[in-house]
Structure 1
């Protein structure tokens, strides 16, 4: 088989295994939680949330959901989802069984890593889709909120979501390696939770630029709506490059570490 064939077979196998785990439910729950809460608030307190004349209600509705929830929720989601997906392989020493098969170890490792990345990407997509859906439903139920009179700032929202997604790739690689490395589910989960909390607390410190668990928070600032869409720095601020660096280093280092596992 060719390199490409091994990789895509691994992706297919990992996708099939994902269907039998709680990971899919967790993805849906995390994507739904904040949009649902905002929807309920707007339904109950709609009279207090009517925008001033000429003001786009999507700015407050969408921007607040994205900027206020992603920095904390996405890192926690990554800690949970990586631990859940890899825990399936740790049961009954399935990882050793996989690595004992006549298939390249890299296809197993990077196939599963790709699935984790895809799961996070799907969560972002579902999250934004639900925000847009809820806004349109609110516009139909409560025309006074003026959602139907304005359009969401799609490009600006995609910029924020993209920056956030890139900013968490570093901790995704770290948590993926930890979850692969330790059979005990509690170790990567506990370490990840502690580091996420530390990252949120330390995000305001200048030194946090070197701490990947702060990147999700840092990526939200500064957000300048007047910046040109073609400005590369807006799409890839400094924190994004640092996150990509951590991702490459830990993805490769993690593979070589796992490759040395005893499969006998």
Structure 2
């Protein structure tokens, strides 16, 4: 079978996975997570008496996102995505279909990455609106300086790429075990240790802490974390597709 003939099957697998996402709570979670950060930024600005620079508000939003909300959202989203099959025990049917098994898992990986990317863009839009809204509600604290939306999107893009290893690890665990407990426990534990060991040198290679390293003051550390997150994610995704494709069914 040629690569051309395989392409429609994979495209169909992605379309089916996207349809399942629309019928789940994943989209609601993907909307609420960035919204919560924007709400926090809005009310935090209203508490102040002096205007804050655009840069400070955007950096604060990105820090909350990378430090806590992103890893916890990925933990919950990967569990939800996997439970779409684990819950109704649909793996037997799916794996009996005349399509390469790795298509099933690759489609989930693609949709997860697309979801995280969409959340990043939504965060950029909602944070900007929150800062503008706070300035309208209380003119005395209207943001100063220039809105560098390109720089903010670039930072969020780096955080997104650095999160690939985190997405791969959490998705693999969520798909490997039918129970959602291992994935949630791993994500919570990883986020906890990332929070309490923020300045640890090993954090540059810790999946749950790699994204926040994009905010590091040392450019070399940020670049190293980005390389580890992106390259490590690609390798982990490849291993996941190979290993899960060999299994009869997750258990």
Provide TM-score, normalisation by structure 2: 0.90
Write the deviation string for residues 34-78 of structure 1: whole angstroms up to 9, x where unpaired: 1112212333x25x1x23xxxx63122222222244222101111
Instruction: Confirm or deny that 1:239 pairs with 2:206.
Output: no
Contact 1:200–1:213 (CA under 8 A) maintained in structure 2: no
Where in structure 2 are the equivalents of 1:116-131 lying within 5 Å? 116-131=112-127
Instruction: Confirm or deny that 1:87 pairs with 2:83.
Output: yes
Q: Which runs of 4+ in 1 moved over 4 A?
A: none
| Higher Rg | 1
Within 2, Cα distance between the matches of 1:135 and 1:195?
A: 31
How far does residue 219 in structure 1 lie from its aligned partner after superposition?
2.0
Q: State which of 212, 218, 230 in structure 1 corresponds to 2:213.
A: 218
Write the deviation string for residues 122-150 of structure 1: whole angstroms up to 9, x where unpaired: 11111110011122223333333334x64
Q: How many residues align?
A: 246
Structure-2 residue corresponding to 1:170: 165
Within 2, Cα distance between the matches of 1:209 and 1:70?
A: 13
CA gap 1:115/1:69 in 2 versus in 1, 3 angstroms: closer
Gaps of 5+ in 2: none
RMSD: 2.1
Where in structure 2 are the equivalents of 1:1-264 lying within 5 Å? 2-43=5-46, 45-46=47-48, 48=49, 50-51=50-51, 57-147=53-143, 150-222=145-217, 237-262=223-248
Within 2, Cα distance between the matches of 1:81 and 1:95?
A: 19
Gaps of 5+ in 1: 225-232
Within 1, Cα distance between the matches of 2:150 and 2:218?
A: 13
